[in-house]
């Protein structure tokens, strides 16, 4: 048994940020990570995500429960399980979201989470590797944020096509305005992925105040009364406990954080009783409000152009590999998607409510990493602020049993309406004049799918996760029974226990969740250090 000031469960995006800030502030920290060290080559090769997402050593291979919204299908739901967590296996896209996302969080009773409050933290996170507006962007942070150096004529045609249907070119969606089309910004530097582990954890890895345990499965949080005192864990057959003098911080992600709380007896008594777990603390919001972005990918056949499909084969791939090795633009240095269009399903809306992603390549029937044998392109619409929510709960007291995961995709009628509008806008871009020279035919959903019912049938049959699970330990006032943590991320009704990751999102952000997860880490660290200063001043 070892004692530390702070014990952090999970070396993912938020956990790495918190560890960095606390160690630099002089505190002893133990980080428990269920996966291995991030030494796998494909973690650091940007396009390697097609390998790591399917690797059970590096990812939790979760599956959702079947639902009507997914056409009765179970959806594969991999989550990162290595140093860096999902930041080591994700698509590396960096999107903050819209100011009103955070203003809404503040309006729900979360003091200190308005856009004006969080903007300095966003600027503090990033090292923007491109010209930028210093009022919105940062250049001194630990995380590099770059623009793609590999360009393709189809990308420009897509951006011009979006402009032709009313979505103007926007060079910086993380700046003053999100709406518009352009190239995604990525957490890539010198053609290598820079995960949260590489940006935050490794700079303090050799500090004597930090201990990182890998392949270390947290099994339960220890309590003395209502105070968290440590975390029990298992490494292989070895059982141990990391004790916390000050706090336990759960940063295991939107699936594993509520799972660990419930395994520790914190949650809805009915759920706990059904799973055979004794109740430590009645907190019914644990595991509820789970949200995700549901995305069907439209596929088109291209003409008059060479696409990624051809570049991944034979001598062309060898040339791309050489370019990557010597630092030249290469498809091996790309993020998961290349271009974006943020638009509105209804002109009366104040801000965009859908995203359309674009890549000048296509995969066979949506199979990850299996490219079509003809020139192709992918255009994927998704609704940014889903109203549909679900849950994640343990099945039993067995720590190895996967939880029940039900996001309830497309359950809410507004989600269907926004997605239908996004599909039609995506189709209009494909058929726009700037795309005419390259667009051959629509393969999915196919030109015959025209009506709402036909397009929804396509979405249900082919849609999938965007890997943006959030909301299952919702932040909000204790008076709201659906919340789990307060604005300082302290668990309601318990002492010395916080949750800090995407699970605390009160509502889904209009963005990929990576940037906001880093924000949560920064906010958690700031709250902890502020609390320590108050104690010292008392």
Rounded distance between C-alpha atoms, residue 303 and residue 425, angstroms: 21
Catalytic residue among 281, 391, 468, 492: 468
Contact 432, 249 (CB under 8 A): no
* 249 alpha-carbon distance from chain centroid: 19
User: How would you classify residue 196: left for phi > 0, otherwise alpha for psi between -120 and 50, otherwise beta?
Assistant: alpha
Beta bridge partners of 2: 242
DSSP 185: P
Query: Is-catalytic flag, 121?
Result: no
**Cβ atoms of 190 and 328 closer than 8 Å:** no
CB 345 within 8 A of CB 422: yes
Residue 538: exposure state from Cβ atoms within 10 A (0-12, 13-18, ≥19): exposed
Using a 10 angstrom Cβ sphere, with 0-12 exposed, 13-18 middle and 19 or more buried, the burial of residue 137 is buried
Residue 120, helix vs strand vs coil: helix
Strand ranges (E), 102-237? 126-128, 143-145, 180-183, 188-189, 192-193, 210-213, 217-224, 227-235
CA 504-507-511 angle, to 5 degrees, is: 100
**Could you give the dihedral angle defined by the CA atoms of residues 99, 105, 111 and 114, in that order, rounded to the nearest 10 degrees?**
0
> What is the C-alpha separation between 274 and 371, in angstroms, rounded?
44
| 96, 136 contact by CB (below 8 A) | no
How far is residue 380's CA from residue 444's CA, in Å, rounded to a whole number?
11
Which residue numbers are catalytic?
A: 468
């Amino acid at each position: 048994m070892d004692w530390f000031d702070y014990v952090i469960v999970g070396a993912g995006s938020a956990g790495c940020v918190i560890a960095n800030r606390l160690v630099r502030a002089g505190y002893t920290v133990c980080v428990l990570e269920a996966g291995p060290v991030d030494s796998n080559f494909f973690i650091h090769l940007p396009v390697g995500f097609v390998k790591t997402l399917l690797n059970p050593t590096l990812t939790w291979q979760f599956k959702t429960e079947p639902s009507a919204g997914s056409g009765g299908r179970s959806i594969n739901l991999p989550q990162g399980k290595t140093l860096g967590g999902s930041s080591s296996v994700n698509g590396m896209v960096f999107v903050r979201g819209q100011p009103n996302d955070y203003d809404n969080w503040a309006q729900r009773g979360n003091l200190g989470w308005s856009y004006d409050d969080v903007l300095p933290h966003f600027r503090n996170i990033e090292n923007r590797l491109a010209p930028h507006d210093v009022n919105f962007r940062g250049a001194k942070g630990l995380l590099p944020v770059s623009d793609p150096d590999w360009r393709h004529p189809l990308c420009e045609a897509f951006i011009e096509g979006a402009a032709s249907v009313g979505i103007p070119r926007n060079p910086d969606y993380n700046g003053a305005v999100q709406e518009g089309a352009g190239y995604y910004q990525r957490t890539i530097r010198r053609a290598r992925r820079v995960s949260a582990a590489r940006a935050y954890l490794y700079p303090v890895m050799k500090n004597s105040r930090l201990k990182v345990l890998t392949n270390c499965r947290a099994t339960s949080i220890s309590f003395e009364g209502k105070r968290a005192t440590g975390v029990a864990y298992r490494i292989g057959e070895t059982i141990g406990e990391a004790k916390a003098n000050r706090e336990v911080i759960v940063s295991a992600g939107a699936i594993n954080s509520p799972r660990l709380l419930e395994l520790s007896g914190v949650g809805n008594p009915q759920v706990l009783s059904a799973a055979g777990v004794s109740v430590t603390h009645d907190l019914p919001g644990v595991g509820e409000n789970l949200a995700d972005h549901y995305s069907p990918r439209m596929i088109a056949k291209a003409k008059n152009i060479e696409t990624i499909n051809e570049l991944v084969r034979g001598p062309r791939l060898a040339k791309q590999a050489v370019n990557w090795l010597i630092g030249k633009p290469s498809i091996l240095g790309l993020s998961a998607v290349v271009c974006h269009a943020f638009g509105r399903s209804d002109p009366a809306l104040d801000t965009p409510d859908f995203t359309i992603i674009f890549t000048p390549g296509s995969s066979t029937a949506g199979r990850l990493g299996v490219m079509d044998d003809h020139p192709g392109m992918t255009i994927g619409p998704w609704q940014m602020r889903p109203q549909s929510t679900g849950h994640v709960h343990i099945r039993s007291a067995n720590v190895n049993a996967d939880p029940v995961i039900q996001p309830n995709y497309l359950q809410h009628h507004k989600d269907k309406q926004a997605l239908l509008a996004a599909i039609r806008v995506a189709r209009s871009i494909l058929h726009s004049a700037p795309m005419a020279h390259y667009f051959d035919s629509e393969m999915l959903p196919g030109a015959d799918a025209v009506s709402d019912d036909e397009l929804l049938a396509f979405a249900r049959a082919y849609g999938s996760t965007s890997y943006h699970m959030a909301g299952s330990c919702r932040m909000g006032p204790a008076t709201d029974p659906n919340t789990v943590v307060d604005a300082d991320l302290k668990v309601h009704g318990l002492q010395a226990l916080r949750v800090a990751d995407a699970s605390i999102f009160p509502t889904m952000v209009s963005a990929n969740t990576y940037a906001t997860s880093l924000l949560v880490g920064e906010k958690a660290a700031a709250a902890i250090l502020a609390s320590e200063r108050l104690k010292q001043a008392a």
